[in-house]
Amino acid sequence: MISTAFTIGACRSLIRSSSQVGFALFSTMSTLETLRFDNLALRALPVDKEKRNYVRTVSGAVFSRVLPAPLESPEMVVFSKDAMMLLDLPPSELQRKDAAEYFSGSKLLPGSETAAHCYCGHQFGYFAGQLGDGAAMYLGEVINRNGERWEIQLKGAGLTPYSREADGRKVLRSSLREFLCSEAMHYLGVPTTRAGTCVTSSTTVSRDMFYDGHPKNEKCSVVLRIAPTFLRFGSFEIFKTLDSFTGRVGPSVGRKDILLQLLNYAIETFFPEVYRRCGDDREQMYVEFFRDVVKKTAHLVAKWQCVGFCHGVLNTDNMSILGLTIDYGPFGFMERFDPDHICNTSDDGGRYTYIKQPEICLWNLRKFAEAIQSAVPLSKTSPCLDLYASEYEACFLGGMRRKLGLLKKELVEDKDLVTSFYDTMERTGADFTRSFRCLSTLAVPGHHDHELSKENLLSKLLSCCSSHAELSNHLKAQTSSRDFQLFLILSKNNPELLDQLGKGALAKERIMAQIEKAKELKEMSAEDFEARNKRMWTDWIEAYCKRLTTDVEGVKDLQALQDDRVHIMNSNNPRFVLRNYIAQQAIDAAEKGDYSEAQKVLKILQRPFSDDPLELKGKQVCPAVFDEGFYEGRYALSTAALRVSCSS
């Protein structure tokens, strides 16, 4: 283990020596045998002295050395050319027969040093103690031709000291979902870890997908994940003192020396501008680092909300210090708009619903501040948390103005226009992605096509809505669930407990509103429902046009403005997102040995804003719906109840 008397100066020396990591900025591409590894993290941070790989509490270390467990007959399912180019690896290297061996962990990349990271986390609001990389393995850090540092890791590579009762493996359905969504988010413009490859094998493990007593054997699979670092809030919770509620402590409790070491390494390596600004003023450096993390996190969740993404498991161990989307598990993109949408079947209490994501990320930031308080007091970091709301709102409203094509002015009432759009989508059961996408068909007031385009927009928005039966069934399922009924009982008999669980007055207000909506819908005929939807969308379009009128004031060339609006709106409102049923079709085909659908879906997700016709040649697994509408989500509302679990 390296000395824990680690200073910022020492870190600078390590970075400089590593580079000869300027490595002279290479002009040639790499091969699998010549990747330029520079594994700074293992030199800069304490590594566990214990060499044996068995499940244990790991104290006084940030990493444990481990070796991947080989898989039988590894096979490449799909790779991302763009992601692998971050490592200077051309497609020809990924098409080699042995590429699947390298990226399954069956064969070690020369220069790699495999290890597992120790971290803790608050899971569903409670401190869980030591967690760590239970299936993921650090391979090292690759320096590319541009001098960029990229950490790569294999997820699903086998047992580690942090595997707990699990087997260190991941299966094809969860691996392919993570691969596709990582890349989808990147092309949507949302900060994210990247996915380079997805490899499957003939090795199998037993999984009970819905925890209902029906396990089945599934193929072991591995994803190559890429990011500048996979450090997360939970990385700093290994020093946590006794938790009064769970009775757990971090495995390195009391080791302030390692906390400082970790902070110094993280700041100089990944926040160099903070280091340069603060120099030797350590406390101020930690404050500015935390402030940057607050801003990055606020911007990240605002972008999630703008594309209708639900993470599903927003625990502190799934929050990146770089403001990246990390650890894709039971995620979901919004289909029928529901602010209380739960994408994770394991989230019984609805802690991580769409509408709660901003507040949960703030809660996680508070836990991060607590985790580093022995280095910088809460009195210094807490004021940074006050920036969160304004940073979030500015980013969210900025994104919404681009989605609505409000380009010329920023008005206070824009927030109300967005809120009413969300409310109308909810009341009519409209599809989130398609509803936003069709807004660009409206010509601005004064344009010769304005009146005709209003009628066209109304027709398109109505086509995005649920039927009376679909929305009735959705609300009935919500209000008759066991958890919903339990909430009602507690709200009457033990409201204090609900407050403790983070389900106070606002949650109760939303629950009661759902009951009223279900009641209203039950008393309404299908014809009345459709007529009401038409009135609601007509009213919203009128309000939208009124707001657009202020944008066209003084504009002489309305066509140029309209062209700009359409371009910006269609660059911010995706045509394609990774809907659950699209991912499931790719999974079903891949499990039968047909990887063409996964490769096709990746190509579609790489151009989410494109209006170009899709190339849909190839094997048709589901020919009845295998057309552009299938990928656009025109058939999505009947599948909007699909959710996934934490099983992986």
Contacts of 193 (CB under 8 A, 6+ apart): 182, 225, 226, 227, 230, 320, 324, 325, 326
Length of the chain: 648
Per the annotation, the verdict on 317 as an active-site residue is yes
Q: What DSSP letter does each residue of 510-578 carry, written as one string?
A: HHHHHHHHHHHHHTS-HHHHHHHHHHHHHHHHHHHHHHHHHHHTT-S-HHHHHHHHHHHHHTTS-S---
| CA 179 to chain CA mean position, Å | 12
Q: What DSSP letter does each residue of 326-373 carry, written as one string?
A: ---SS-EE-SB--TT---BTT-TT-TT-TTTHHHHHHHHHHHHHHHTT
Q: Taking the CA atoms of the chain, what radius of gyration do you get in angstroms?
A: 25
User: What letter does residue 318 receive in the DSSP assignment?
Assistant: G
What sign does the dihedral 545-546-551-554 (CA atoms) show?
A: positive
632 three-class SS = helix
Cα distance between residue 21 and residue 15, in whole Å: 8
Identify the active-site residue in 38, 88, 133, 317.
317
| Cα dihedral: 550, 299, 580, 174 (round 10) | 170
Contacts of 312 (CB under 8 A, 6+ apart): 329, 330, 331, 332, 343, 344, 347, 352, 644
Angle at 580 between CA 464 and CA 304, to 5 degrees: 75
Nearest to 303 by CA among 327, 325, 334: 325
Nearest to 51 by CA among 94, 3, 1, 15: 1
Query: Which backbone phi and psi does 221 adopt, to 5 degrees?
Result: -140, 160
Per the structure block, which two tokens stand in for 139?
């391979």
Nearest to 296 by CA among 317, 324, 274, 270: 324
What sign does the dihedral 647-213-221-180 (CA atoms) show?
A: negative
Contacts of 422 (CB under 8 A, 6+ apart): 337, 339
**How many helices (H) and strands (E) would you count in the chain?**
24, 12
Query: Residue 533 to residues 467, 473, 591: CA-CA distances in angstroms?
Result: 10, 17, 41
Phi-psi group of 74: left, alpha or beta (phi > 0 → left; psi -120 to 50 → alpha; rest → beta):
beta
Active site residues: 317
